[in-house]
Amino acid sequence: MESLVQKNRTPEYWEAHPDRLQALTLDDVNEIAVRLLDVERMVWTIAGDLSKIEPQLTGLDLGERQVLAPDGEQLYG
């Protein structure tokens, strides 16, 4: 309801919303992403068994890496 009031969206707007989303192309989404996302400020959070996932992450150029233990202690990075 708050969105309806703040952005003057009618119920009809929201009824048609799924169709608008379905009509988006990959190019549309990529164009919006380039405009809105600052990849230099992105933070990746990856959780899992380090011994299994680390080989898959090597070479992905995800930026500076910090590895934390389950208790939050920084192991390296």
Per-residue pLDDT of the chain (77 residues; tens, 9 = 90+): 565 566 788 999 999 999 999 999 999 999 999 999 998 898 889 999 989 998 998 888 888 889 999 999 998 87
Question: What's the token pair of residue 4?
Answer: 């309806």
Enter the pTM of the model. Answer: 0.48
Retrieve residue 68's tokens: 């934390």
State the Cα–Cα distance between residues 59 and 4, nearest whole angstrom. Answer: 45
Q: How far apart are CA 32 and CA 37, in angstroms?
A: 8
pLDDT given for residue 38 in this prediction = 93
